[in-house]
Amino acid sequence: MLSTIALRGASIVGGESLAGAGDTFYGFDPATGGRLDPEYHCASLDDLNRAAALAEEAFTTYGKLPGREKARSLRAIAAGIEAIVPELVERAHRETALPEARLKGESARTINQLRLFAQVVEEGSWVNARIDPAQPARTPLPRSDIRSMMRPLGPVAVFGASNFPLAFSVAGGDTAAAFAAGNPVLVKAHHAHPGTSEMVGQAIARAVKECGLPSGVFALLFGPGSQIGTALVDHPNVKAVGFTGSLAGGKALMERAAARPEPIPCFMEMSSVNPVFVLPEALRTRGAQIAGGLFGSFTLGVGQFCTKPGLVFLPRNADADALVAELKTQVEKAAVSPMLTEGIAKSYSSGVAARQAHGAVETLARAGVSDGAGSSCAVPVVMQIEGRDLLRDPKLAGEVFGPSTLVIRYENRDELMALARSLEGQLTATLHGTEADLAAFAGLVTVLERKAGRLIVNGFPTGVEVCHAMVHGGPYPATSDSRATSVGTYSIYRFVRPVCYQDFPQPALPDELKDENPLGIWRLVDGNWTREAVPAHS
Ligand code: NAP
């Protein structure tokens, strides 16, 4: 299919594509190594400054927009993306080598998450309105009238992720949450999918115009992280950062944000190895089935998921030997496929090689490589280590982004508990077990609750549902702030802060906090959740 969308190879500021003057680059097809037109122009620091000034100006109106109007704009963005799904999928497939079926699913997720946020802001109770009416007669001191609610932070910088060119990129979860909360968004496009980024950026700019919003509500900036990325994080108008990518990149940007004259909150999703624990009864009764599920999960999308299971804990017994044998058979037959970029493929092979070079690590199986495999291709590998060796060198448990996993064989329960306690922060931790297993290993669950944002029973960590209860977060280094999630509607709270209004006259209060509750939202009035108006003279 030939796309009918004109790509200009340009950043978008103030609703317009910029005429390019700066450095240039191209998108690449990782499957063929071929260059993809058009040529992309990097934004200049002047462009960025203008985008940030427009964003600040836009915030004065967008930050106060009623929920129903924000909902309208989120739905307009969703409809704009929905209208170009075939072109988007085609371009994203060429830029990332991800299968078209996966990209169609990712488009649907991107569109649906915008619509889900639209519902949340339209309903309105998410602002967490709290009202403690005045008590003038209280003794020994009267109480003032105290009301609070969540307000947006101001312009948010979003770094598009390489591994989700739609759902974690220009109109992805960070952007949807920031917009829903009432913040303008400045996106630093990922260089690995510039055409996809521009198509989505154009759809957002069109929706912004159609809804009559100030053009500064959105900007898309192309350029290297070392220039555009750092300048965005440094810019005084930027009030928060959303990022998905490497630990090194996320950490460098966090440090930068903390060193600003006015440090700002950063929500970085970085590095997780998503341990899987197979407990004895489950191992005995479903070992082969679990091996199949594990293989599917750690090779899904060429292992390029932040939730890829990278560590598998198995006892040293015959049931576990059978599971390992099944895993080996599947890995030997696995396909060798291109990764998102040549750089990511190189860092995968060097990560695997470093692990294999360790004397305590045994390579159990690797996929066979055919002659045609290009330099962006990744070979699925499964390795093994004894629990005691991992305890001696816990760095071996670090993330290797790509289709590999490490099996850890433990001798007994004490060793398993020590291994679990030695883990760093994770997005997920998975247990395969019967009810009896889970009762017998309740202590393991208690340890894992402190390690991970999401605990899964008898499933696999890849596949993150976008819903109200989802937590896609976890202690460092999984993320920079374990109190937050980057998936699901709860992620809106990353980009707001509570503001308290003391002794305000009724007309000066936001609608959410007025006595009569004109929006009909749920509020905590004097400690009780209610949708009723605040009683007179209460
Ligand atoms: P990345 O290198 O961290 O880059 C992500 C974004 O941040 C890019 O836009 C990049 O700009 C920018 N950036 C990176 N370091 C920066 C710095 N020091 N200062 C300013 N901006 C910076 O991630 P990636 O390109 O997606 O993949 C590289 C590696 O990250 C992978 O091999 C994998 O190990 C890891 N990764 C992990 C996850 C996960 O979910 N855990 C997801 C994706 C990637 P540029 O345009 O200059 O690159």
Instruction: Give the Å distance between the CA of 369 and the centre of ligand 1.
Output: 27
Dihedrals phi, psi of 408, to nearest 5 degrees: -115, 125
Residue 17 is given by DSSP the state E
Burial call 487-498: b when 16+ CB within 10 Å, e when fewer: bbbbbbbbbbee
Residue owning the nearest CA to atom 24 of ligand 1? 245
pLDDT in tens, 467-497: 999 999 999 999 999 999 999 999 999 999 9
Residue 40 is given by DSSP the state E
Strand partners, 499: 149
pLDDT in tens, 191-246: 999 999 999 999 999 999 999 999 999 999 999 999 999 999 999 999 999 999 99
pLDDT in tens, 266-322: 999 999 999 999 999 999 999 999 999 999 999 999 999 999 999 999 999 999 999
Instruction: Give the Å distance between the CA of 244 and the centre of ligand 1.
Output: 7
Q: Identify which of 246, 269, 350, 480 to mutate to test ligand 1's pocket (most ligand atoms within 8 A of the CB).
A: 246
Catalytic residue among 95, 106, 269, 326: 269
Assigned CATH class of 12-270+488-493 = alpha beta
Residue owning the nearest CA to atom 32 of ligand 1? 344
Shortest-distance atom of ligand 1 to CA 271 = 41
Provide the sign of the torsion angle of the four alpha carbons 153, 511, 58, 484, taken in this order.
positive
Q: Output the ligand 1 site: residues, CB below 6 A.
A: 159, 161-163, 188, 190-191, 224-226, 229-230, 244-246, 249, 252-253, 269-272, 306, 344, 347, 401
Residue owning the nearest CA to atom 18 of ligand 1? 249
Nearest CA to 238 among 506, 115, 56, 70? 56
- Is 306 considered catalytic here? yes
Residue owning the nearest CA to atom 23 of ligand 1? 245
pLDDT at 370: 75
Catalytic residue among 90, 306, 326, 512: 306
Q: What is the rounded distance in angstroms from the CA atom of residue 362 to the CA atom of residue 324?
A: 13
Tokens of 491: 């992620």
The model's confidence at residue 537, banded by pLDDT at 50, 70 and 90, is low
Q: How many residues in total does the chain contain? A: 538
User: Coil, helix or strand for 437?
Assistant: helix
- Tokens 């063929």 locate to 32
Tokens of 129: 């309105």
- Tokens 């017998």 locate to 440
Q: Does 374 have pLDDT greater than 90?
A: no
Work out the mean pLDDT of the chain and round it to a whole number. Answer: 97
What one-character-per-residue DSSP string does 204-269 give?
HHHHHHHTT--GGGEEEE-S-IIIIIHHHHH-TT--EEEEES-HHHHHHHHHHHHTSSS---EEEE
pLDDT at 220: 98
Shortest-distance atom of ligand 1 to CA 162 = 26
Instruction: Give the Å distance between the CA of 249 and the centre of ligand 1.
Output: 5
In CATH, which of 3.40.309.10, 3.40.50.20, 3.40.50.720, 2.60.40.1170 is domain 276-457?
A: 3.40.309.10
Nearest CA to 380 among 409, 421, 345, 354? 345
Contact assessment for residue 89 and residue 199, using Cβ atoms and an 8 Å cutoff = no
Average pLDDT over residues 133-149: 97
Q: Does 393 have pLDDT greater than 80?
A: yes
Q: Does 46 have pLDDT greater than 70?
A: yes
Instruction: Give the Å distance between the CA of 231 and the centre of ligand 1.
Output: 16
pTM tops 0.85 = yes
pLDDT in tens, 158-188: 999 999 999 999 999 999 999 999 999 999 9
Residue owning the nearest CA to atom 40 of ligand 1? 306
- Domain range summary for the chain, segments of one domain joined by +: 12-270+488-493, 276-457
pLDDT at 401: 97
Which amino acid is it at 55?
A
Average pLDDT over residues 392-415: 97
Dihedrals phi, psi of 445, to nearest 5 degrees: -60, -40
- Is 500 considered catalytic here? no
As a whole number of Å, the end-to-end CA separation of the chain is: 66
pLDDT at 457: 98
pLDDT in tens, 70-101: 999 999 999 999 999 999 999 999 999 999 99
H helices of 272-423, in order, are 280-299, 318-332, 342-356, 387-392, 413-422
